[in-house]
Each structure stands twice: as structure tokens, then as C-alpha cells.
Copies of this chain bind each other. A is one copy, B any other.
């Protein structure tokens, strides 16, 4: 192991470093390059960019200007140019591999993206109090993916230092989990095609610290849509009757969407997360854009919500005499954890945490695309929940996680690796090593 891996800071310090430099979907240049550089230094074979992400499967890619700005910000933060150059076009995916003789192919996935949330500046918020709050106003790790990436890199170092196992270990650092956009292009690039075992997890999800659920349930199918209403501008006092008001179409649509009757027999959700309309105060707004999503527990439930949403949008446009377009910007699907994989998580977690069989994830995660890719060819996949007390609900401006869960996460992944690749966890987890972490 070279100096890079050896010098890796502890998992908490890593998470805090990542927390301070959040990057949103397809723009994780600094994060991905940090991962690639670290993994490379640890001896992993690292592939990045278009090689591990199919461009034609990317929905909702940011504008070229946004990509250039993200690259520039990463550069300014010290990111080596050669990694940026290898991840053009908003494709900061990273796949690292370490092979030790013959054995199963085991893949772990960690997501890296942050959210367009303005982190609170309240003194009581630990990232503020301890000086690792977001340095990029309007962007925040408000879902715990900083922790996921920190766990993945720490795990990479531990398993690189451990020569007892046999087989192939593949670590996937995925951009753009939010919006359900990053996993599909990675899965379609074929990186899961030979995988025997696949595991991933999520911190928090209202499961308290000290508990682990072997199997996340309640993955929702979701569809992300961008809607644009186009009307006609006019002077708001001299000729409002000449205008066609796109802002009012969007307002009516927003209310109508949130008022869609929720399904009686399954969880269904809708959200208009962003609405931008109009140009000037005394002009009838001729354009409005909305970012929305609909979700359901089943494909039928999603189809119901999506169908009702289309009707609401079309009707709201008709009310104002404006036209509209909708564009799919991302999707998530449901997937079931393989019982064999859940059993491995359950055994791995025993003694480390209080094991809970199932826990609702309460949202979605596009890791399901990867799980399905593995299962389609006969591999086994699991998605578990890593309990962590939260300061506030996911996506809130004062979200924060109990950092004690990070080390639990590293150990859980380590034990799972040993279950699959051998030898047993008992031999591989000496107290001394852990204390050093």
C-alpha cells in the first residue's frame, strides 16, 4: 500500500471534508476525482467517465455551462486536471477493482452527490459548530451521501490492506443518485454484468443508531419530469388581455398536482420541487418551468400518478391558453433484495448492531437499476439500512447524521466482504485495527 491509502484520514474526517465541498448530480468532479485518486493510490484498477457511464442513458444532464463551472470549481479546489479530463460531459463515475486470485465477483456501491439545499447557518447545527458546513452556498450534503462515500473509501483502504481474501472486489462510486439518474447509465455500461454479489445501503432513513435492517423495503417507482409552459408576454396594465399567463398555469398545475388523490392501497407521492416563472413584475409571464416527480409502490401506482399528473398539467395549460412540454429527467424502479444476500447481511450485522429484518426506505434509490442488472444474470443483491440518528429529516436544511454510524458501516461492509470472499470476519477484525481507524 502506498502512502496515499496509508494517509487516508479517518472516516469521520473524510465525511467532513466531503460535507464541506458538496456537488450536485453529474457535477461531482472534486468528489469523484478524490475517490479515483485515493483508490488508485490504494492499488485499485480505476476506470472513470464514459467507460463506466453510457452517455445515451443519462437523463437530465446539466447544461454544458454548468459542467464547465463544476470542473472549474473542482480545479480551484485542487483537483488534478488529469481526472477532470477523463470525466468529460458530466460523467464523474468511478469504478475501482482489486483482484486476489480466483473467487466470486463482489460489488459494493456508494453514491456521491449532494442536493441543491441551502444549509442552515444556525450555530446549533453541528457542521456549523464544528466548522465543516458547506462552503458552497445553495448546495448541501443533506441526505448522507458524504457519509456513504467516506465509508466506501475507508472500506477500500481496509480491504486493500487485507490480503486474506480471494476473488474480485469492485467498488462503484456513483454520481447522481438524487433524481434517479446516475445508476442506470452505469448499469448500462455493463459494470454489473459479471457480478455474483452486490450490496449497498443507506444511512439514516429514520432507523436509529445502533440498528441495521438487512433488507430495505418500500422502494418506490418514480418518474422525474421537467415541465415547460409557454404563453405570451404582454404589459400587465396596458394589455393584460393580450397575454397568456404561463405563471398562472404553473401555479394551478402545482396545486392540482399536489391535490391528486393518493392511492388507497399503496404509497404514492407527488412533488413540485421547483418552479420558475416570468421575467418582470409588470409583464404577463410567458414562460414557466417546473421540476416535478411522481412515485408509487408499484408500476401500476406510478402509472396512475403519472397519468393523473399529465392530465393536470395539460388541463392547467389549457386553462390559461398556453402550450406545454414535458420531458422525463430520471426514473427509479423498485427491486427486491435477494433472500440469500439478506441472510449474509443479517449474519454480518449480528454482534455489530441490533438487526432488524426489514425497514422502509421511504423513498427510492436508483441502485435498484444495479440490483436488477445483477439479479437478471443470476447474481444476488441486497440493499440494507444503516441506522443513524438524524438531526432532521432527510433533505432538510439542518439534516445531520450521527457520525458513529460511519464506523459501523465500514465494519458491516467489511464483514460482508469476508462472508463472500473469505476468510471469516472473526479473523479479519482485530480490535487493534479498528481502534486505529
Which A residues contact B (CB, under 8 angstroms)?
115-118, 138, 142-143, 178-179, 205-206, 220, 222, 224, 232-243, 245, 247-248, 250-256, 258-259, 261-265, 267-269, 271-288, 291-293, 295, 304, 308, 311-312, 314-321, 329, 360-364, 392-397
Option from B252, B264, B314, B316 in Cβ contact (under 8 Å) with A362:
B264
Residue of A275, A304, A397 ringed by the most chain B CB atoms within 10 A: A275
Q: Please report the C-alpha to C-alpha distance between residue A388 and residue B334 in the assembled complex, in whole angstroms.
A: 31
Contact B263 A274 (CB under 8 A): no
Contact A321 B308 (CB under 8 A): yes
A292 — nearest CB in chain B belongs to which residue?
Answer: B281
A295 — nearest CB in chain B belongs to which residue?
Answer: B237
**Copies assembled:** 4
Hey, which chain B residues are within 8 Å of A241, CB to CB? 261-264, 268, 304
On whether A252 and B258 interact (CB within 8 A), knowing A283-B273, A319-B315, the answer reads: no
Contact A281 B224 (CB under 8 A): yes
Contact B278 A274 (CB under 8 A): yes
A386 vs chain B, min Cβ distance (A): 15
Q: Please report the C-alpha to C-alpha distance between residue A35 and residue B27 in the assembled complex, in whole angstroms.
A: 44
A277 — nearest CB in chain B belongs to which residue?
Answer: B275
Hey, which chain B residues are within 8 Å of A233, CB to CB? 117, 142, 395-397
Contact B321 A318 (CB under 8 A): no
A278 — nearest CB in chain B belongs to which residue?
Answer: B274
Q: Please report the C-alpha to C-alpha distance between residue A299 and residue B234 in the assembled complex, in whole angstroms.
A: 22
A148 vs chain B, min Cβ distance (A): 16
Contact B280 A117 (CB under 8 A): yes
Contact B272 A280 (CB under 8 A): no
A324 vs chain B, min Cβ distance (A): 11
A237 — nearest CB in chain B belongs to which residue?
Answer: B363
A397 vs chain B, min Cβ distance (A): 5
Hey, which chain B residues are within 8 Å of A329, CB to CB? 281
Q: Please report the C-alpha to C-alpha distance between residue A150 and residue B329 in the assembled complex, in whole angstroms.
A: 46
Contact A254 B248 (CB under 8 A): yes
Contact A281 B277 (CB under 8 A): no
Interface CB pairs A-B, < 8 A, 12: A234-B395, A235-B393, A236-B363, A242-B396, A243-B396, A251-B255, A255-B256, A261-B284, A274-B277, A281-B292, A281-B329, A311-B320
Hey, which chain B residues are within 8 Å of A277, CB to CB? 274-276
Hey, which chain B residues are within 8 Å of A234, CB to CB? 393-396
A78 vs chain B, min Cβ distance (A): 25
Hey, which chain B residues are within 8 Å of A247, CB to CB? 254, 272-275
A287 vs chain B, min Cβ distance (A): 8
Q: Please report the C-alpha to C-alpha distance between residue A361 and residue B235 in the assembled complex, in whole angstroms.
A: 12
A319 — nearest CB in chain B belongs to which residue?
Answer: B315
A115 vs chain B, min Cβ distance (A): 5
Contact A265 B311 (CB under 8 A): no
Contact B291 A280 (CB under 8 A): yes
On whether A205 and B311 interact (CB within 8 A), knowing A269-B262, A276-B276, A280-B291, the answer reads: no
Hey, which chain B residues are within 8 Å of A286, CB to CB? 397
